[in-house]
Every structure is written in C-alpha cells, then in structure tokens.
Amino acid sequence: MSKPFSVSRRQALIAGAAGLAGAAAAPLAGQTADQAARARVPADPTKIQGPGATDVGARSPFERPARLSGGRRTSSQTPLQDLSGIITPADLHFERHHAGVPAIDPERYSLLIHGMVERPMVFTLAELKRFPGRSIIRFLECSGNGGRAYGRDAQDAEVSPQQIDGLTSTSEWTGVPLSTLLREAGASPKATWFLAEAMDAAVMTRSIPIAKAYDDAMIVYGQNGEALRPEQGYPARLFLPGFEGSSNVKWIRRIELADRPFMTREETSKYTDPLPDGTARMFSFVLDAKSIITEPAWPDRLTGPGWWEIRGLAWSGRGRITRVEVSADGGRTWMVATLDDPVLPKCHTRFRMPWRWNGLAATLMSRATDETGYVQPTTQALIAARGPSTSYHYNNIRAWRVAADGTVRLAGGTI
Amino acid sequence: MTQMFYPGGHGGFHGGHGSSRTTCRAALAAAACLLAAHVATAQAPTAPLGLGRAATADEIRALDIDAAPDGRGLPLGRGTAAEGSPIYAAKCASCHGVKGEGGTAERLVGRNDGDSFAFATNARLVRTIGSYWPYATTLYDYTARSMPFSQPGTLTPDETYGLVAYLLFLNGVIPEGAVMNQASLPKVAMPARDHFVPDNRQGGPTVR
C-alpha cells in the first residue's frame, strides 16, 4: 500500500531513482518518482495494449517499499508498515551481518560436518539438495530488534515500525533437516552442542545445543520459492526456528559436534543479557512473544474520524500465537483482535481490529499471548525483570499515540 | 528454454508403486494388496542415504580453527605483552585506540570500580575484555578468525598470542611478563567469569 503522505519529497526522489533503475524512466530533474510513474500512465488503459511479457517482473512504479540501512554497513530493516500478510518479499528481508555479504560460488560451496561423529562428511550444495527436503514458514528476528521501544529514553518519537522492529521478517524456507545430515555423519549420542561457522570475513561462529538439531533445525537453501538471497546466507545457512537471528549462521561452511559450548565472541561479549542481579544470561536463544501495530503508525496520519483498521504482526519463538489483544485507550481496556490464517508456530501472525476513531487523542497498544501462556509484558514489567540498560530481547508492549490532528508517534516513557 | 507438460503423466508415482509391491509379497490378502498398490504412503528413509563424501584430515585441519575454554583447538605458539605491543600499534590501534580505549571500533580495555557487573542498571559502565569477557580463549579465537578487520585471518599464532597477552595485560588481567600459550591461556582467570548464568526463561506466565 502506497502511503504518499508518509514520504517526503526528497525521499521519494531518492527511492525512485534507486528503485526504478531499468524498470521505467528515471524521474526528470524536479520530478517525484510518483510524477514520473504517472507520466507513463495512459489516459485510459482499456484503450491501449500494455507492454508485453517479461522474464523477471518488477514492482509497480508507484510502489517503492525499501529496506532502511540508514548508512549502516551491517544492518538494514524491513519496511513492516508497507507490507501486508505475513510473508516478507525476499528483497526486503532484513539484513544483519558482521563483515559484509560474502560472494560465494555455489559450485565451490561445501558444508563440512565433523567432531563427535563416526564419519566426518563433506556435502556439496547439489548433495544437500538431494536429501529429502522440507519447506516451513517461520520468522527470523535479530535479538537486538526493538531497542528503540525500550527504556526510559524512548520519548514520543517519530519512528516507524521499520525503525523500531524492522529486524524481523518471515519467509518460506526450504532445506534439509539438520538431523538428516547428522545421521548421515553418524553423530555421537554423547554430543551435546555443535558449532556453526560461516564463510564470511568474520568467520562468524555460534554454539547451539544439539537438541535443537534433533528438534527443528535445518540447513536451508531456498527462500520464498527461489534460492536464498546473498544477504540471507546464499547458498546455504543454518535455520533455527524461533531462535535469535545471529544463531542462524549464514553462509555456513562447517558444523563441529562437541560435548561443550565453544564460548565464541558472539555468545559471550555479545548476545548475552545483563540482569539487575549482577549476572548476565548466556545462550538466551528463544525469542519471547511480541507484537507491534504496523498501521496506523508513524509516519501515517489519519485523515479523519471514522472507521480504520488497526493492523499488525505478532510472533513467538516458542510456538503459536494464541491471542492478540488491542487497546485504543492506553491499556485500560482491551479487545481481542482477529488473527488471519494461517497461524503458524514460530511465525509472523497477522492481526486486525476494526477501530472507530472519534477524532480525539488515543493510545494504541497490542499485546500478544503465545501457546505457552506467556503474555507480552509492559515496558515497566520488562525493565523490572531485565534492568533499564540490559541488552537484547526487547519484546515489551509497543504503544502509539494518535494526536487529535491524526498524526501518530511512538509513545515512549513509562507505558 | 522450452518446458513440456504432460497432463495426467505418471512419472512421479513409480517409487510409491515399487515400494508397495515389495510390501505386498509378504501380504496374505491379495485384494488388500491390490488396493495398496495404487496408493502408497511415502516413508522417510531412516538410515544414511550415502550422499556426500568422507572429509579428509587435511580438509578438517584447514577449517577447524576454533579454540575453546578448555584449551582444545589452541595452536602451538607463544607471545608476551612486550611482543604484542608493536603488533597492536601497527595493526589494531588505528581502530581501537592507542591503548585500547576505543576509536572507530570498540573499546577493548578498561575495568569498572570494584569490578562492578551492574551493566543492566548502570549504562555508564565500560564493557570490555577486562570487565565483561568470561573466557580468555575467546579473545584468541576471535582475534585469529576476525581481526584485523580489514585483513582477517592473517595473524600467525605467535602474533595472536602476543596480541592476546598485550590486551590482557592492558586490562590488568595478567602480569606484564606472562607468556601466553596453549597451556597458560586457558588458565587465565577472567574477572567476569562467574557472572554468566544459563537462560532460565521457559515460556509460561512469568516474565524473566
């Protein structure tokens, strides 16, 4: 859905120039991307043959959803507010990497499995694809996602769902269960952990409990019907449903089975959660239930009172979302939202609630519950449990303040 | 590229037919067998499929670069702070600061008053190798695999041991003359070691 009111003219010019390259005429000087697109629309499309078939499709020149890298080299965020349903188009899947996106020749790619196995094995990409496969639809979220909605510093802010929570995406992933590969290598029953190692310039590593391998871990090579995108680990990555993004090692080259964790930098110095009692939690893999209203949200502006649909996403790393409640009065009263099918475990779930806006200031909130009975906590409750300056796993309730003029801002502070 | 489609083609059913026929040899009721022959349920294989190939010892050695807290995986070699200092100045200081105080890249050196670990409640604490890292071997492993940022994987074991010794010395964790090697590095007691706890979240109604 295009939101012309939400995009500044400058942004539109830039996005247009980047997004339309090759697909349509670049905007002329002083022309917005929409104006350029409009100039190519015939007065009456029913009276003129359209362009013919193409080998690779492109978005309507009027639709320009884009990731936000904001000058950062190591991450870009999914435009949650521009998407419908639960699937993230592959080219809009968020990115997070430590040393850029490596270029890998699929012909030269291979995965080594060794350590506590009877038969250390090497698998080419073609061999990985020959194993009995599986496709699953699951979310993937960076554990640093949502930091902007946490803590006392979060004042009423002009930040979009993309800027707050854009480090989560959902795809259909296709690959081979890791348990199948471990059987092929003859994994020792005494192995309790495995190391997953990437072939990027960080040679990124994480230790994973082997139980996850026998539960639902996969080596995936497909994303939304095509090969993985380079940013998501082409040609193959580890996929651990419900586990924090960084443990889903991309560009995976090696798996080593062991009887203890390896204590890599990304599970000690980073991706650990300091707690108020002077400890820090390690191996806090599972992402607890969370939700965010993606519409209305900044930079939307409600054009007038009347019926609007509150829409958003909810997800939990522990299983299915069983309920999402929405409040339009800052949490005093809650209503149960409708969940769109499919409601899948460890997957973005779309919720909706019709809302009749009376034109007065309102505070919109959403609260997700998952199948374990876990209820998304308030910011105050999460700060009480984790401390104001903890790191990672910010799943507190997000609130949006709608002003009488229809503008919407992230409500910060004590909510 | 032309692709042909044959509506009603049956190429995909051969496997199912064959496997149900095998089952039928042992079946007593011929009628039941005939029925089963039309539709068989796919069964996932439960034994290795014989795909892939055995890894060679050389292949494993080339990739197996990790070093664990118990010292497994640490290579032969040695280094001291005095040996690491000039390497640090040449290869690390430009990003991490002359004394590890930070620059364009993270701060690496520093302790907090009383070795406070109140990171969750005090945002002003410095988070460094000396104040937050639980294992000294992690420093070896990470430096060898990922640093220096613009030329990762180029340090020799001796250089890496020297850099590790220098950074541990600057953090006040080891004395200036201490030699870091396969045997001594795993024994280094990191100040933050005992602050780390396993994840105790488990779903359900409690917020942890």
Chains A, B: CB contacts within 8 A come to 174
Over residues A192-207, the pLDDT tens digits come to: 999 999 999 999 999 9
Say if A334 is an interface residue toward chain B (CB within 8 Å): no
Residues 263-282 on A with a CB inside 8 Å of B are 263-265, 268-269, 272-276, 278-282
Q: Which residue has the tokens 């499709």?
A: A57
| Shortest CA gap B17–chain A (Å) | 18
Say if A84 is an interface residue toward chain B (CB within 8 Å): no
* Nearest neighbour of A131 by CB, restricted to B51, B119, B132: B51
* Phi–psi pair at A369, nearest 5 degrees: -125, 140
CB A77 within 8 A of CB A94: yes
Nearest by Cα to A165 from A332, A396, A324, A341 = A396
Contact B120 A390 (CB under 8 A): yes
pTM of structure: 0.90
Summarize the confidence of residues A376-398 as an average pLDDT: 95
Over residues B170-207, the pLDDT tens digits come to: 999 999 999 999 999 999 999 999 999 999 999 999 99
| Shortest CA gap B208–chain A (Å) | 5
ipTM of the complex: 0.91
CA atoms of A56 and B109, how far apart (whole Å): 52
Would you place residue B10 in the very low, low, confident or very high pLDDT band (cuts 50, 70, 90)? very low
Which fold does the domain A95-275 belong to in CATH?
Answer: Sulfite Oxidase; Chain A, domain 2 (3.90.420)
Query: Which percentage of chain A shows pLDDT scores above 70?
Result: 92
CATH number of A290-410: 2.60.40.650
Over residues B112-143, the pLDDT tens digits come to: 999 999 999 999 999 999 999 999 999 999 99
CA atoms of B129 and A163, how far apart (whole Å): 30
Q: Which residues, other chains included, contact A205 with Cβ-Cβ below 8 Å and sequence gap of 6+?
A: A195, A196, A197, A198, A249, A262, A264, A266, B66, B141, B145
Task: Please determine, for residue A362, whether its predicted confidence score (pLDDT) is greater than 90.
Answer: yes
CA atoms of A387 and B6, how far apart (whole Å): 64
Would you place residue A252 in the very low, low, confident or very high pLDDT band (cuts 50, 70, 90)? very high
Contact B149 A99 (CB under 8 A): yes
Over residues A113-123, the pLDDT tens digits come to: 999 999 999 99
Give the architecture-level CATH label for domain B66-195. Answer: Orthogonal Bundle (1.10)
If you compute the radius of gyration of chain B from its CA atoms, what whole number of angstroms results? 29
Over residues A283-324, the pLDDT tens digits come to: 999 999 999 999 999 999 999 999 999 999 999 999 999 999
Task: Please determine, for residue A181, whether its predicted confidence score (pLDDT) is greater than 50.
Answer: yes
| Shortest CA gap A181–chain B (Å) | 8
Summarize the confidence of residues B48-70 as an average pLDDT: 97
Say if A363 is an interface residue toward chain B (CB within 8 Å): no
Cβ-Cβ contacts under 8 Å, B153 against chain A: 203
pLDDT recorded at residue B39: 82
CA atoms of A140 and A367, how far apart (whole Å): 20
Contact A260 B68 (CB under 8 A): yes
Cβ-Cβ contacts under 8 Å, B43 against chain A: none
Cβ-Cβ contacts under 8 Å, B45 against chain A: 132
Q: Could you give the 3-state DSSP secondary structure of residue A326?
A: strand
Domain ranges across chain A: 9-47, 95-275, 290-410
Summarize the confidence of residues A49-67 as an average pLDDT: 96
Say if A41 is an interface residue toward chain B (CB within 8 Å): no
Domain ranges across chain B: 66-195
Q: Which residues pair with A367 in a beta bridge?
A: A325
| Shortest CA gap A131–chain B (Å) | 8
pLDDT recorded at residue B122: 97
| Distance between start and end Cα atoms, chain A | 30
Contact A122 B52 (CB under 8 A): yes
pLDDT recorded at residue A152: 57
| Shortest CA gap B130–chain A (Å) | 11
pLDDT recorded at residue A201: 98
Mean pLDDT for chain A? 93
pLDDT recorded at residue B7: 34
Instruction: Extract the tokens encoding A207.
Output: 């230790």
Q: In what order do the strands lie in the sheet with A205-209?
A: A205-209, A193-198, A252-258, A110-115, A121-124, B53-54
Mean pLDDT for chain B? 87
Would you place residue B36 in the very low, low, confident or very high pLDDT band (cuts 50, 70, 90)? low
Summarize the confidence of residues A347-372 as an average pLDDT: 98
CA atoms of B187 and B184, how far apart (whole Å): 5
pLDDT recorded at residue A414: 59
pLDDT recorded at residue A29: 81
Task: Please determine, for residue A7, whether its predicted confidence score (pLDDT) is greater than 70.
Answer: no
